[in-house]
Structure 1
Amino acid sequence: MKIGILTSGGDCPGINATIRGVCKTAINNYGIEVYGIHSGFRGLLDNEIELLTDKSLSGLLNMGGTILGTSREKPFKKKGSTVDEDKVNTMLSNIEKANLECIVCIGGNGTQKTAAKLAETGVNVISIPKTIDNNVWGTDVSFGFDSAVTIATDAIDRLHSTASSHQRVMVIEVMGHKAGWIALYSGMAGGGDIILIPELEYDIHNIGNTIMNRLKRGKPYSIVVVAEGIKTENNMKAAQYIANEIEYETGFETRETVLGYIQRGGSPTAFDRNLATRMGGHATELIINKQFNRMVSLNGSDISSIPLHEVAGKLRLVPQDNDLIIQGRKMGICFG
């Protein structure tokens, strides 16, 4: 049996651990030949496919990024009003020439959508969710999220001492265009005083009042954690906008910090390494059992899978009744 594996979309910690989980299970336990497809779906268009061996998988567990490379190529994206059939036919032809009986697609929401469309053409597909934003529908957690939260929490911890020393308001912006999971989890873990996420509306006057009330209680500094996707005026960056508004509302010296791509880089946490390994191994089991066109998922503490067509086009957003939000409000944390 021959299978292909690719990684698509943005990089994140744990991709290589997932590649390792899939390939080592396939090669060592089932004698399957695994071919790495370079640069995401672009590799299927350019026929950049190479055999992976047990030796080529050494050292991947703690390595950031992806050894296969990635791209945001979307072969099914419409060109004008129609899909570019030449692209699709080229991709399908290269899969057939390589005799690949299944394609394992590792990626986020866009990748899940493309994988579902690939499955509709008759290709056997297994997908594995990958995102630091934790916004892939159908799984409780995606690998990469814990690593990003750990990095963001460490940054918030470090800002506490600076904010306290200078008696400033520090605004830290973390990733999350539509989903505020990183801001919520790192903000709570890092002791943020104000946490702003796209799913919850905020009132800048309320934020200003929260900071002033903290001053009256003898707390001359505040930490504000914001997701990059919160609404701002004139398309300003989240941290810059909130910092400017806080300074205007309160007169407090306010500084902003944008973490950016730091959240995506480096080694995965132990949790993400183990989650990636489990998800990769389960993907191989699905292939062996010919349970194709499914996405691997984490439900509670169990690894399982759901039909791929149920995932495409959906987002996993933070619900307003999330227990961290409820507990945070009870503790006096402002969510806007």
Structure 2
Amino acid sequence: MPGKVRIGLIVGNDTDRAIEFDQAVNVSLRGNNDADLVLKLAFDEDEFDWTRLHMTPSYFRKTKRWETSKVDVLWNMVSDADQHPGTLAVIEKFTDQCDLPLIDPAAAILQTRRHDVARRLAGIEHIHMPKTLLLRNPTLERVRRQAEAAGFRFPAIVRRTGTHNGQMLGVFQSPEEIEGVYGDRRNEYYLTEFVDFRSPDGGYRKTRFFFVGDEIVLRQHVVSETWNIHGRSGRGMADHPDRLAEAQTWVGGGFAGLPATARTALRAIGDQIGLDYFGLDASLDSEGRVLVFEANATMNFLPRAGHMRGRSAAALAPMVAAVRKLLLAKAAQRATKT
């Protein structure tokens, strides 16, 4: 496609009411992924250009609207279906009217709540997806009945919907032991079967993958002393040269270096989730079977510092290549239409 590929980055949230048209003014990106940072760090401005399209639930009640005649591809960064269902509904209407190639349709994002993903991945060969229940207006009796009907097994992790970075209320051995949930009519909660995935050497392993178009990028591999692995957990590997070497080998080998069983299972996950761009946190056993922790587009690729070091740096080049390939493929769809 001749000239620059012009990208409209859709951002927004359910809290803001005013639409911010000034590109220089920051808006809240809570519940949005960091695809904008990947673009800013990775691409030559002679080939790609982008503009921010801020959305809120009130967008269609405003007189002023976004002009998209100079946009080739839309990229929806609003990725948390728990936090921003109103904005996602507006984005779905907006993108339907634009008739432009789109990365991560809002309708598909809305199907990535934890309990929906658990249902969609259940029963796929070589994948273990712990059962997850959505608790609304929970009482002890309701949770008992819901767990029994679903064949749900305790112990279980309880977390409020829309939370990330390892935030949770705790791991509970039975419905009777759950605290901080019953009687709460304002918030919703996820109840997820707890799986002890400790390796024979005593470590807990979590690998983050990014699905970008038809490519899968191995972003990070962490070995931890505790099961609740999140952003800072990798720092504890500094005192374990063997674990650092393992992480470097995993990231350096990438998707192609995984066992065939794991590659097949990961492809199946990509097919079921159905997004152009999303992340997966999982643990792989020695035979390549995949224990899924979370799969959605809310995951960030880059750390807050905006750069990658050491064992993770090897993931940057394949990620850049995958995103570039995805954008060019979407832009080609636009060229075909015109």
- TM-score for both structures, normalised by structure 2: 0.33
Higher Cα Rg: structure 1 or 2?
Answer: 1
TM-score scaled to structure 1, two decimals?
A: 0.33
Higher RCO (Cα < 8 Å, 6 or more apart): 1
More helix, by proportion: 1
